[in-house]
Structure 1
Amino acid sequence: MAIKTTYVLQKRASTEEEYPRPQFKRTEWYDLNGEWQFEFDDEDRGEPEKLFNQKKDLMQTIQVPYAYQSKKSGVEVDENHEVVWYKREFHWEKNTDKNLLLHFEAVDYHTKVWVNGEFIGEHEGGHTPFSFSITNAICNGENTIVVRAEDQNSVEQPVGKQSWKGDNFLCWYSRTTGIWQSVWLEEVPLQYIEDVKMTPRVEEGRLSIEASLPRQKKKAYFEANVYFKGEWIDTVGVWVKENQTSVELTANVESDQADFRVFYWTPDTPNLYDVMFQLFVDQEIVDTVESYFGMRSIEVQEGRILLNRDTFYQKLILDQGYYNDSLMTGNYEQMESDLLKVKEMGFNGVRRHQTIADRRYLALCDELGLVVWAEMPSSFKFSSTSMFRMMNETREMVQKHYNHPSVIIYTLMNESWGVNEIYHREDQQAFVNALYYQTKAQDPSRLVVGNDGWEHTLTDILTIHDYNSDAESLRNSYEKMDFVNGSPSKTSRKQNYAKGYAYRGEPIMISEYGGIAYGNEQSDVEWGYGNRPQTEEEVLERLEALTKVIMENDAIQGFCYTQLTDVEQEVNGLLDHHHDYKFDPKKIKKILLSRQSNGFIFE
């Protein structure tokens, strides 16, 4: 039986390590991570029996935000339970001049929330953040939050790399059910800044700002103050009328410093501007939000990818975001350590594969200088239900990533997962194109890959997956440009483009290659791609040979190596299950340095 505990919540300083939304920072918040009451509901009786309104405790406890399948959760049950319940009691002193927001960074998959027995709202989607106002449900003194999470073992849900079978198989891993990213409270004024979209206009040296505001009860004034390394750059503002819900304005980012006007964001120079947003009512500041942005553009031109109008050669590593004792949930120190290792090995970006990263991870990429390919987790069955869910969660994914300068590309589908007959079926082609156009309409400032790996329809980049482990054979595959309208490799039955589509001059990238398996146990359960090397030296020799073949081909604009870490049964990481180096990072960096991001280094 769970031990009943009532928490007196303490205001927290907005530190980088813990604050869940570092690009939209208020000074104080309340952390709800930690011990919650927990219970499985295999017969799905919780709602009809009004478990959300009962005073009795739940049967177990769990450490939030870890999924019950993980070791860190304290539950660690490797079984499928589709419905789970959470309960958290806490003491609160209500302020009638404030709104109280309850934030969930990610809950897999369908969430319902009650506060003090009152239904607050629900959300569908396992990887994106959502919030509720609980102001009217909260009371002075003891309060209770109850959460019901339902995660059906369904291939019509976007599940990414979570296994939908009884056990793990191939490159699909342990499931994640329920709360798996931070839960927190935030007290805001009655009139407050709900969200801000920041769009850099590199050609103009300006930043476009669109602020979302709950319906205004009084006339207000919205202001943005821009700084660079402590130097004031510009202040712009606009009046907000009563009942108005959004405003737009443009800030200047030019500086008189040095010999250039705009400080660009690149992996080598990850320059970030600070910006403070403020809302005034009756000439008094009622809300202040601290943020930042980067001035960078990304575009394609004549078969090249341009970052800030300069040719940009991408050297990415595939990061699946799994941890051996916490599955898809990493803490700040783990994320920072991983990304510092990525930089140390000489990569200039990450392809975040089949899971959506924590916002602190994205902020670290902004600060450290790593470009990010954001990817929507796949469903695995084509149906009206799966299309509806993919469209909705993709939209939320784009909204989450919009302000991060490190994010340059959205990948919407991977290897035709969920659209297995896209080569010849027009409805599946139309669906991927619908995702492409939706994303372009929502965020025209970034590049979009419709179906990564093969069988492309609409796409800004021709991305190819090729796990050929023989360097000479790999070289021969890309000697002549007619490969663009053929197969991604000589051993593949797939085609680079779906029927009715063809190469139109897009930049070409090898977005998955390598996958060299090398583990300690050498067991039959462990696997990777190609013949398995027996020594570290053999792994590095193959890595060097394959990578140089790609880098020496001027038609190819970059690559993504598979992968950063070992994940459960898959042991093709450059880091092991504990995220420690398997190989000397200096040796890997030396291999990658034979080509710079904007050209060659000739030794």
Structure 2
Amino acid sequence: MFWLFILLSVSIVFPKEKLIQNSDARKIFLLNGNWNIIIDPYETGFYTYRLTPDNNGFFKNSKPKNKYERIEYDFDKSEKLKVPGDWNTQKEKLFLYEGTVWYKKSFNYYKQKDNRVFIYFGAVNYNCKVYLNGEFVGEHIGGFTPFNFEISDKLISGPNFIVVKVDNKRLPEGVPTINTDWWNYGGITRDVKLIETDSTFIIDYLVQLKKNSKDKITGWIQLDGKNFDDVQFKIPELNIDIKLTPDKNGKCSFDIDCLPILWSPENPKLYKIIIQHKDEIIKDKIGFRKIEVKENKIYLNDKEIFLRGVSLHEEVPIKSSRANSKKNARKLLSMAKELNCNFVRLAHYPHNENIIKEADKLGFLVWSEIPVYWTIHWQNKSTFENASNQLKEMISRDKNRSSIIFWSVGNETPLSDERLSFMKSLIDTARLLDSTRLITAALETHYVNPKTIMINDPLGKYLDVLGCNEYIGWYDGLPNKADTIEWKTTYDKPLVISEFGADAKFGFHADSLTIWSEEFQENVYKHQIKMLNKISFLSGISPWILMDFRSPRRTLPGIQDYFNRKGLYSNLGEKKKAFYILKNFYKSKMN
């Protein structure tokens, strides 16, 4: 009953509007660019000196009406930050800052009569309050998923201003919680846009192959508004052109027999999709593929596949800032392609939409994850509601992307009854929202004796694919320890080794047992590959990690300097010796 209550109360604790699917296909007005900011560590712009909400806070964007009126802030005289972008790498004084920054953008807008307007954020880290022309619009919690609010009744024909309160403080009850191993980039980190629609419009849709099928396309289209006319659905290349009649709630569904060319890493075929309601036309490019588990192997389009992967964080090379653009996405995936990868694990949170769409185009299979990371508050209702909401928003945004084969509900979570109930409820939610993809989580290893790792985490019972992080040779013994280890499991399910690796400072050379050297990291990879080749139920790996990334936990001067150095590339894009070990291993695994 405890978890039932939580599931039923999600929408009450985290109220939100339905997410607009495929925002790039809409009539949009970008609000990217320079925004005025006020750094506000004491939250003076939100609270009175009695710590009660101030009705005349910074969101009012007030100006003195006479020479003796006292207003102690001025956005227009304040400094600026670029949006999208993190504040940490734009201003040195904000490098380690965690707290509140107010953003303000002035703009002119003239909407067509009777049309509706929404403000859409790709992501804001972490707690975000949005105001338009001094009026509260809405709030969002979670740093990596998109959200939108309707502002039709608050928008003025002419000059407007938007103010956003952004607070990236880490919280014990948050998702993620206080303790992580990546940079807590604050700010409006992804695109901000106004989306103008008809009074009734296509808000959402799903188009994919029917589960366990290669010859039936299924899906639905959801309208939002009051007057629902017929919807035209087309896939021209497949000669599909059908008229659909919405039900009283504006939803229409379809099942279509056809034989599409199946999407795969070798042939990432995408079909042009056209959906029309009255004068509104939405276009998308969608691939069709079949993913399933048979006994302890993964099958793509009825063929067994080995996932030649790598993990990566959402950081742009060289600058080491939050990555968000198509150019950033192409660069990261091209680095993975050089490794002979066909798979990427997007750790440890939902990455930006650009990299998912580029993965569709380039033929990468994708593991997408929510930041249920390490030890969070398993018994806290609002913590679960937060995690569940982030899961729903991730799936809502990316459900049409053929590249995504795994939804991951967490990483390295410790064993307990409370954790099992929490995670199982997330799995149930994911299956309810999307029954076609595989569910996984990155588990920790557990020894049953000094030479045997047994995968027996109770969570494994509910997963389709076992993910497992292990650091034999780094946190666990020396590199040659891997030669002595045997892997076993109580589950007849495929395994993906979701992390392994070792730190190395690019350019530091020594013998193979000198820690931090490229040779030590190379040695770890050699012994790991020898061990991994002996695991009969192994279906893929995603070593940690593509590129060195920022982490406040990593403080060793001259070596780490606030970087996790487990990258196969340095943060400047330089290849370490282990890069070539993995590249050659993957070449041997290519069909």
Q: Is the Cα–Cα contact under 8 Å of residues 468 and 530 in structure 1 kept in the other structure?
A: no
Q: How does 1:128-527 map to 2 (within 5 A)?
A: 128-159=145-176, 164=178, 172-201=181-210, 203-217=213-227, 219-227=228-236, 231-240=237-246, 244-254=249-259, 262-280=260-278, 286-323=279-316, 325=319, 327-378=321-372, 380-382=375-377, 383-384=379-380, 385-416=382-413, 420=414, 422=415, 425-454=416-445, 455-457=457-459, 458-469=462-473, 473-478=481-486, 483-484=488-489, 503-520=490-507
Unaligned runs of 5+ in 1: 1-19, 166-170, 255-261, 281-285, 485-502, 524-528, 598-603
1:55-109 deviations in whole A, cap 9, x for unaligned? 34323211112122123xx465134342221110011223214222211000112
Deviation of 1:343 after TM superposition, in Å, equals: 1.2
The change in CA–CA distance for 1:177 and 1:516 in structure 2 (over 3 A counts) is: closer
Moved more, 54-63 or 107-116: 54-63
The change in CA–CA distance for 1:204 and 1:591 in structure 2 (over 3 A counts) is: closer
Deviation of 1:326 after TM superposition, in Å, equals: 5.3
Deviation of 1:39 after TM superposition, in Å, equals: 0.9
SS state at 1:193 partner: strand
SS state at 2:224 partner: coil
Q: Distance in 2 between matches of 1:315 and 1:182?
A: 31
Q: Is the Cα–Cα contact under 8 Å of residues 508 and 516 in structure 2 kept in the other structure?
A: no
Q: Distance in 1 between matches of 2:24 and 2:230?
A: 19
The number of equivalent residue pairs is 518
Which residue does the alignment assign to 2:50? none
1:374-412 deviations in whole A, cap 9, x for unaligned? 011135432413222112212212222211111101111
Q: Is the Cα–Cα contact under 8 Å of residues 223 and 278 in structure 1 kept in the other structure?
A: yes
The change in CA–CA distance for 1:321 and 1:522 in structure 2 (over 3 A counts) is: farther
Per the normalisation by structure 2, the TM-score is 0.81
Q: Is the Cα–Cα contact under 8 Å of residues 453 and 511 in structure 1 kept in the other structure?
A: no
2:541 corresponds to 1:565: no
1:162-188 deviations in whole A, cap 9, x for unaligned? xx47xxxxx723322231111112222
Q: Distance in 1 between matches of 2:146 and 2:296?
A: 36
Q: Distance in 2 between matches of 1:50 and 1:398?
A: 35
1:503-550 deviations in whole A, cap 9, x for unaligned? 231112222122352334689xxxxx98536456x6545434422431
Amino acid at match of 1:235: D
Which residue does the alignment assign to 1:113? 130
Unaligned runs of 5+ in 2: 1-18, 47-53, 64-73, 446-456, 551-562
SS state at 1:341 partner: helix
Tell me the percent identity. 22
Which residue does the alignment assign to 1:543? 525
Deviation of 1:251 after TM superposition, in Å, equals: 3.5
1:203-252 deviations in whole A, cap 9, x for unaligned? 251221211211332x411111113xxx35211221235x5332212344
Q: Distance in 2 between matches of 1:205 and 1:405?
A: 16
Over aligned residues, Cα RMSD in angstroms? 2.7
SS state at 1:316 partner: strand
Q: Is the Cα–Cα contact under 8 Å of residues 320 and 571 in structure 2 kept in the other structure?
A: no
Amino acid at match of 2:571: H
Moved more, 558-567 or 198-207: 198-207
Q: Distance in 2 between matches of 1:349 and 1:23?
A: 23
Amino acid at match of 2:356: L
Q: Is the Cα–Cα contact under 8 Å of residues 121 and 190 in structure 2 kept in the other structure?
A: yes
Q: Distance in 2 between matches of 1:132 and 1:522?
A: 53
Which residue does the alignment assign to 2:62? 55
Deviation of 1:428 after TM superposition, in Å, equals: 1.9
The change in CA–CA distance for 1:122 and 1:428 in structure 2 (over 3 A counts) is: same
Q: Is the Cα–Cα contact under 8 Å of residues 86 and 185 in structure 2 kept in the other structure?
A: yes
Q: Is the Cα–Cα contact under 8 Å of residues 442 and 469 in structure 2 kept in the other structure?
A: no
Q: Distance in 1 between matches of 2:105 and 2:545?
A: 38
Amino acid at match of 2:515: R
Q: Distance in 1 between matches of 2:424 and 2:22?
A: 31
Which residue does the alignment assign to 1:259? none
Q: Distance in 2 between matches of 1:553 and 1:471?
A: 17
Q: Is the Cα–Cα contact under 8 Å of residues 112 and 121 in structure 1 kept in the other structure?
A: yes
SS state at 1:275 partner: strand
Amino acid at match of 2:566: N
